[in-house]
Amino acid sequence: MMTTASKPIEAVGQWWRTIAAAANQHASLEAARDFGEGWASLTPEPGGVDYIEVDAGGVPALWVVPKQCATERVLLGFHGGGFFTGSMYTHRKLFAHFAKAIGCRALILQYRYAPENPYPAQLNDALNAYTWLLDQGIMAPHIAFIGDSAGGNLCITTMLLARDRGLPLPAAAMPISPWYDMEGVMDSLVYNQGKDLLFTKEWVQAIAGMYLGAQGNPRDPYANPLYADLKGLPPIYLQVGGDELLLNDSTAMAELAKKAGVDVRIDIFPGMQHTFQMAVGRAPEATDAVERYVAWVKPKLGLV
């Protein structure tokens, strides 16, 4: 399914240009992380939401609690940032918009960063937090996963690991501009070069190396789920911008899921940049995209 959006959201585009310029100046890892904290400026406050820090099975996390929400329904949120930056704070407003519109709580993780903690540290943190939610009495069918970019990777890989360890699976997953291809072989890395205002193929490959570490396997299905058997996973809804270098990560995942018998939907937004949904409440294209997710997931959580 395609949207009719016709141009990039300037706020997102300008932010990515600034990030890319900083990267080209060979800023330090810490400088990139500090700069990345400004990511939160893309998203306006939704209002009517409380934030509570919590230890989620040994993983720092942030509860997002809209007023008068259904507390027994939960979004488990995985923030983006290439596994080396971003935080529960940079993404609290984005996931709060989702939680408020859906009428549920959200739990946003602060997983460990690469390269200090390479794969599978982030996946282990995600599974630990999911297990903690289950231990709190939240039923698996009342949980949905959501994540952008690297967080979109964790949406799928955490379900795979949970399935393979015999845990009950969540009701649904909503990857936003997800990153799966750890080999750097997708065609969109070439044909969208220059259209994507953030990434280059070389940068994507470098971040993958940082995430996997010296001993990492770019075809490990728990890191690169394009090599995984997706059989038995719950419904998946992918959104991706048409100008992204990571476009084919989503299209390949949709095809793989379909072949495995998974209920999958993908919306490609022409002209849109990576994680343009961060501008929800400010740009109509982003608000429309979030509203599509909300309408899709509410019945899966029993909130209609």
Q: What is the DSSP string of 154-194?
A: HHHHHHHHHHHTTPPPPSEEEEES----SS---THHHHTTT
Residue-level pLDDT, tens digit, the chain, 304 residues:
333 343 447 778 777 777 666 666 656 777 777 766 677 888 999 999 999 999 999 999 999 999 999 999 999 999 999 999 999 999 999 999 999 999 999 999 999 999 999 999 999 999 999 999 999 999 999 999 999 999 999 999 999 999 999 999 999 999 999 999 999 999 999 999 999 998 999 999 999 999 999 889 999 999 999 999 999 999 999 999 999 999 999 999 999 999 999 999 999 999 999 999 999 999 999 999 999 999 999 999 999 8
- Does domain 10-301 match CATH 3.30.365.10? no
The answer to whether residue 149 is catalytic is: yes
Active-site choice (149, 177, 188, 250): 149
Report how far residue 156's alpha carbon sits from residue 153's, in angstroms, rounded to the nearest whole number: 6
> Token digits for 137?
């009495």
Backbone CA torsion sign across 212, 175, 264, 73: positive
Specify which residues 65 forms β-bridges with. Answer: 50
How confident is the model at residue 3, as a pLDDT?
A: 39
The answer to whether residue 91 is catalytic is: no
* Every domain of the chain and the residues it spans: 10-301
| Residue 65 parent element (H or E) | strand 59-66
Please report, as a single letter, which amino acid is at residue 21.
Answer: A
Active-site choice (79, 97, 142, 244): 244
How confident is the model at residue 25, as a pLDDT?
A: 60
> 140-175 burial by CB neighbour count: b if 16+ within 10 A, else e?
ebbbbbbbbbbbbbbbbbbbbbbbeeebebbbbbbb
How confident is the model at residue 16, as a pLDDT?
A: 73
Active-site choice (79, 91, 97, 274): 274
The answer to whether residue 274 is catalytic is: yes
Report how far residue 125's alpha carbon sits from residue 105's, in angstroms, rounded to the nearest whole number: 19
Return the residue matching tokens 């048409």. 242
Backbone CA torsion sign across 118, 121, 122, 123: positive
